[in-house]
Amino acid sequence: MATTVLIGAQWGDEGKGKIIDVLTEGVDWVVRAQGGNNAGHTVEVGEERFVLHLVPSGILHEGKRCVIGNGVVIDPVALVEEIQGIVERGFPVRGRLFISDRAHVVFPYHRMLDAQGEARRAKGEQIGTTQRGIGPTYSDKAARFGLRMADLRDPAFPELLRARVAEKNRVLEAVGAPVVDAEEVLASTKKALETLCPLVCDTIPMLHQALANGESILFEGAQGIMLDIDFGTYPFVTSSNACSGGAATGSGVPPNRMDRVVGVLKAYTTRVGEGPFPTELFDAQGEELRRAGREFGATTGRPRRCGWFDAVVARHAVMTCGVDEWALTKLDVLDGFDTLRLCVAYELDGRRIDYFPANIREVERCVPIYEDWPGWPADSTRGATRFEDLPAAARRYIARIEELTATPVGILSVGPRRSETIFREAAP
Ligand code: IMP
């Protein structure tokens, strides 16, 4: 397959980092097309653990080339720090990492406005953002007030920035927040540009040339469909399109060049930040999932909310993203549970529904309808290298997920390492 789009099919943190890392073996290019350093993709290479926020994880593979596409919002100072960390650990970026000149830039005032916006929201309306300035940067993009990487290299940049800082300071002052010093922002950005400038280019012809050369591309999705600005639990979402369509708008590779969509699903469900989550568990089983799955945010360290697998959410991902196959992750975390619950539909105000409502207040009233499936408490999925090696109950659990979502599970992850992955040759 020349192009593969990988998306998160829940609320982010599905274990995309590891699946991307494994799929990278077979591709030439890895492209990020949306989000920013709100993402945290964890990859284990040998005994080493990497958490990448902006740089595509393909950078950890020799010879692979990586693009940060136009749909990504870039905090230049954070990106330089990340690049330095990668280089120090032995992975060169020159000639391998390319940054779109159309990507919008996150400035300190965006981060401050993010924090302010959260603090000023009424109780119950806070989103629980990562406070990386993502929402305010995409707001400026939509309001046509943003600055892009191309602007940073322009001689007019100091004036463009000063005008923006003056405007944002008026807003910050009005809410009683500390203001930003334009000259300090200029200095830190210019310093970051020493590292970034040689990597900035028009990545659109570059990717099209790659396709024309017969090279393959993996689009590395960030966040997940339920955090998508259009299809997620609005307003408790991020500010970009985490759906498969975002891979096209965020890279300049059009939809008719996308060959396959892989949806990454955790074998249960988690969410960080606020917002409705129908299958959330508030009991000892939720605690157990958090403990066994080490469910703490890769970017903010916050404990993740945990719950059972939700087929309504997975079907929503299939519809909105055109998922061809699943990568089912963290199956090993379910080792030890006596009974597993699968949410097959919701009950809303006494009615059974099998779709995800748009109205957030309705979502809050949705009560999951569960099927109970036997677990494999005496058995383990760890160490399995073939589907047939999995406990019979685990295979039944997977088959039921396939049935409920009408989509095959092609890849299974039973541990954090590259080697702990099962590829199913003949997915049903
Ligand atoms: P923002 O993207 O920082 O504006 O945060 C908006 C919502 O998306 C919050 O609930 C965050 O916790 C969530 N979020 C953003 N990025 C990620 C991610 O990469 N994984 C999981 N949740 C995320």
> Per-residue confidence of the chain (428 residues) as pLDDT tens digits?
799 999 999 999 999 989 998 999 999 999 999 999 999 888 888 788 888 999 998 999 999 999 999 999 999 999 999 999 999 999 999 999 999 999 999 999 999 999 999 999 998 899 999 999 999 999 999 999 999 999 999 999 999 999 999 999 999 999 999 999 999 999 999 999 999 999 999 999 999 999 999 999 999 999 999 999 999 999 999 999 999 999 999 999 999 999 999 999 999 999 998 999 999 999 999 999 999 999 998 778 889 999 999 999 999 999 999 999 999 999 999 999 999 999 999 999 999 999 999 999 999 999 999 999 999 999 999 999 999 999 999 999 999 999 999 999 999 999 988 899 999 975 44
Interval between CA 427 and ligand 1 midpoint (Å): 32
For residues 360 and 330, membership in a common domain is answered with: yes
Asked if 379 and 412 sit in the same domain, the reply is yes
Range of the domain at 53: 3-100+199-260
Handedness of CA 46, 33, 237, 74 (dihedral sign): positive
Domains in the chain: how many in total?
Answer: 3
Query: Would you report the helix, strand and coil content of the chain in percent, each value rounded to 5?
Result: 35, 20, 40
Residue 48: the pLDDT is 87
DSSP-derived secondary structure letter, 298: T
The answer to whether residues 219 and 43 touch, using CB atoms and an 8 Å cutoff, is no
Q: Is 242 in the pocket of ligand 1 (CB under 6 A)?
A: no
Which domain-ending residue is among 179, 195, 211?
A: 195
User: Which one of 260, 278, 293 terminates a domain?
Assistant: 260
Nearest to 220 by CA among 91, 62, 65: 65
Question: With contact defined as beta carbons under 8 Å apart, do 92 and 262 qualify?
Answer: no
**139, 112: one domain:** yes
- Residue 400 within a domain: yes
Residue from 10, 129, 305 to probe ligand 1 pocket by mutation (most atoms less than 8 Å from CB): 129
Report which ligand 1 atom has the smallest distance to the Cα of 272.
12
Take atom 10 of ligand 1 and give the residue whose Cα is closest.
273
What pLDDT shows up at residue 49? 87
Is residue 428 one of the residues assigned to a domain?
A: no
Are 221 and 341 contained in the same domain?
A: no
